[in-house]
Structure 1
Amino acid sequence: MRISKEAEERRNEILDKAEMLFFTKGYARTTVNDILQEIGIAKGTFYYYFKSKEEVMEAVVTRFIDAGVDVAKIIAADSKLSVHEKLLQIIMAQKPDSERKGHMIEQFHQAENALIHQKSLAETILKLTPVLTEVIEQGIEESLFHCPYPKETMEFLLVASQFLLDEGIFKWQPEEIILKIQSFIYIMETMLGAEKGSFSYVAQMFE
């Protein structure tokens, strides 16, 4: 058990230092040697945990996504919150809450990181859908929503919000973004069979 814990600590140390370098130097300009020098480990130690710099970046992204999903799970399980309070807090919890996280998202939008960005979008949708579905099902039980396909509906809504409204993929004009957010809220309320105007707070997600 002790060896396993030490291995996990070493892996996280590599991820911490790599994330810092991606933040300060940029992913493209960071090399494996930069990471080795920052931590002070041999190349063999690095390759014991990761096959490449790309794999490190994927692990950093997964850790980033998992942190948001873990927060979402805590919010979804909070019986003191209403359905709409849960949805708002889960949505807001996915937004970058620090300069470092914001910069990491900027790194995803670099052309050379397109594949990693695509994987991060897919991973976010796959991991966040079950959590949001649980909240939507609560809303159905409370007659707030009338939707026969809660899981599939959330998948479509997440794809729309994660892809179509991603400013790193589409360079929409400000007025176009406003219209798309308004239409997204309309589509969300329609697909979930919710009362008109009940999802107006979703606009905060894109501020």
Structure 2
Amino acid sequence: MRTVKTPDVRRAEILAVANNLFQSKGYSKTAVEEIVRQAGIAKGTFYYYFKSKEDILEALTKQLVDEMAIKSKQIADSNDRNAIEKIVSIISQQNRLRNEKQNIVDSMHLPENRELHDRINIKIIKILGPILAQVIEQGNKQQLFHVDDPLSTIQFILAGSLFLFGESVFNWTKQEELARKQAMLVLIERTLGAKPGAMMMLLEQCHN
């Protein structure tokens, strides 16, 4: 008998196949026909769920952002860490997720996906901004931070970091990127009114 799958299951299967192909072959070298063949579906079925390969990439990217938001919110709501520890934990887990989904991140940065890139950055700023603002407010209460407008402040920081490190136009070398990340961390500490070096020290401990 032919197995009938729910729309959610079928859509998730198509996304999983596409993700694996993007990982192994790269986004640009993956054709819709190959996704259809490996998913074992008709081409019409593919287009029932997705308008194009770009539509699939957008869905995968949104999944990544949603996962970042869920994990960040769990950290923000926890009671076992102070605000600086939470900020560092959120940064670390986001870096891990990006590394795990590097194929998706790289695909989003392609010139032909510029509009998607901009939409996702807006989504990140709107979703992660309030979560990080919650942590900054906690830091204000703990006298670890001194920020008058937590949400606006962190959204400016997010926008700056996404532009500086999420744009291929700069073509940073590894050394240049590291230098700018260290400079941004110092800037974040100063902007939040944190003790100099507090976040850097915790980040180094997380990486060791």
TM-score by length of 1: 0.85
2:118 aligned partner: 118
1:65-96 deviation digits (Å, cap 9, x = unpaired): 11121111111111012212211111111114
1:150 aligned partner: 150
Task: Give the CA deviation at 1:20.
Answer: 0.9
1:85 aligned partner: 85
Q: Percent identity among equivalent residues?
A: 37
Is the 8 Å Cα contact of residues 69 and 127 (structure 2) preserved in structure 1?
A: yes
Is the 8 Å Cα contact of residues 189 and 195 (structure 1) preserved in structure 2?
A: yes
1:106 aligned partner: 106
Correspondence 1:37-52 to 2 at 5 A:
37-52=37-52
CA RMSD of superposed structures (Å): 2.6
Q: Secondary structure at the match of 1:116?
A: helix
1:2-42 deviation digits (Å, cap 9, x = unpaired): xxx92111111111111111111211121221111111112
1:29-62 deviation digits (Å, cap 9, x = unpaired): 2122111111111222222211111111100110
1:163 aligned partner, one-letter code: F
Q: Secondary structure at the match of 1:27?
A: coil
1:133-192 deviation digits (Å, cap 9, x = unpaired): 111111111111111110010001111222213363422345543443343223212222
Is the 8 Å Cα contact of residues 145 and 192 (structure 1) preserved in structure 2?
A: yes
2:132 aligned partner: 132
Aligned residues: 203
Q: Distance in 1 between matches of 2:173 and 2:149?
A: 33
2:155 aligned partner, one-letter code: E
Correspondence 1:121-200 to 2 at 5 A:
121-166=121-166, 168-174=168-174, 176-200=176-200
Is the 8 Å Cα contact of residues 147 and 193 (structure 1) preserved in structure 2?
A: yes
Is the 8 Å Cα contact of residues 88 and 203 (structure 2) preserved in structure 1?
A: no
Is the 8 Å Cα contact of residues 76 and 135 (structure 2) preserved in structure 1?
A: yes
> Which segments of 5 or more consecutive residues in structure 2 lack a partner in the other structure?
none
Q: Secondary structure at the match of 1:95?
A: helix
2:22 aligned partner, one-letter code: F
Is the 8 Å Cα contact of residues 181 and 203 (structure 1) preserved in structure 2?
A: no
TM-score by length of 2: 0.85
1:13 aligned partner: 13
